[in-house]
Amino acid sequence: MSETIYLHPNIRVYRKEIFEKLASECNVDFAFTGVPKFESHISNEISQLQSEFQGDFVQCKEFNISIRNLSWFIFSLPFRRKYKNVIFSCCLSFPFLLMAIPLKIVGKRIYIFDELWRYPQEVKKFGCLSFFVKFLIKYFVDGVVTAGSKAQSFYREYFDLPENKIHVAFNTTVNPPKNDQVVKVRIKERIDSFCQNKSPKILYLGRIVEYKGLDILIKSLAKINSDFNLFVVGDGDFREEAECLVLQLGLSEKVFFLGACLSNESAYYYEATDGFILPTKFLLSEPVQIESWGFTINEAMAMGKPVLSTTAVGSAYDLIIDNKTGYVAKAGCVTDLATKLTQFIYGLENNTFNSDDITNHLHNTCNYESNMAAYKSMLIK
């Protein structure tokens, strides 16, 4: 019989396997507290994953889509006697902030899984809560599983949580599927059709939003002497600004915007290019200020591709080793990114990076067995 309930906004591809392992090995039940705002490929993906999920779960019904992750189920938890342990996702989530105290009062143990590694103090609604959040974590939380070493340090230093209460489960995902030869050939031909030379083919794949730092990348590319082809795969409200910047800096023959791709196509974009870039910058005026982890780095490295990223990306601290698996540049710094781009492109041209070293480092760091060991260590204390 399950004694643990895990509250998480949604099940996604990169969470499915660890959730199923928790369900089968630790008898954990799940409550998915969020509902996609509208019909989309993400909502379709979530529905499909739920239909395949090997475990017990509840899909909560939110009160109001403007207040995320709140439902009657959340408020019923103190009265659900079979659950002795409650795992929340993120210390800033409404369920944790509202329910940690009443759940502790009725004798339940409180745990958190979190990717957060910088408190968004500059955002008013979070800044006002900082004292309360620290109070909850110090006096009401029995243990934390963090998604990486940067988040581990954050909980130890910012929240002053004892070392024995913090466990690390490096964010892990399954390798991207790559068994559709028709899609593979189509994408390779598309990429090759833009290349007028044999210069390294570099990939940016993800949403085109401001904090992802595509503007910093474009400005940095304009400063280097190396030849390159940059392929931007994705879409978003920052795309028009990024395209205008490319034109202004005279890079239209080197930077190509290909639009969004489906999830089953991403592996072939990694495969058709030589290296991957995630140039995220700190955007302290926004709720999303950093890249909590950056799963595209996992995906690129799973394909044996070197990565150039920045200090605003959580996974960079655990997955990128300079001159071996890629490079890390100072976030938001055009000059430093240009320097690292020159080194990165030189490495691509001269086969400096070994694909086996890249995939081995990824799998040795991020794997579901280590994830389970972290959760078990937390729950048995």
- Please report which confidence band the pLDDT of residue 273 belongs to, taking 50, 70 and 90 as the band edges: very high
What is the tens place of the pLDDT at every residue in 113-157? 999 999 999 999 899 999 999 999 999 999 999 999 999 999 999
pLDDT at 198: 84
pLDDT at 42: 76
| Higher pLDDT among residues 335 and 12, named by residue | 335
pLDDT of residue 66: 66
pLDDT band at 264 (very low <50, low <70, confident <90, very high): confident
The average confidence (pLDDT) of the chain is 94
User: Is pLDDT at 39 greater than 60 in this prediction?
Assistant: no
pLDDT given for residue 37 in this prediction:
66
- What pLDDT score was predicted for residue 43? 82
Residue 13 binned pLDDT confidence (cut-offs 50, 70, 90): confident
Name the residue with tokens 């110090």: 138
CATH fold, domain 4-172+367-379, is Rossmann fold (3.40.50)
pTM to 2 decimal places:
0.93
**Per-residue pLDDT at 11:** 92
Question: pLDDT digit string (tens) for 320-348?
Answer: 999 999 999 999 999 999 999 999 999 99
- pLDDT for 178 equals 74
User: Is-contact 134 116, C-beta < 8 A?
Assistant: no
pLDDT tens string 166-207: 999 999 987 777 788 999 999 999 999 998 778 999 999 999
| Residue 355 pLDDT greater than 60, yes or no | yes
Domain boundaries, the chain: 4-172+367-379, 181-364
Instruction: Give pLDDT, residue 40.
Output: 63
In percent, the amount of the chain with pLDDT more than 70 equals 97
4-172+367-379 and 181-364 share one fold: yes
* Domain at 181-364: CATH architecture: 3-Layer(aba) Sandwich (3.40)
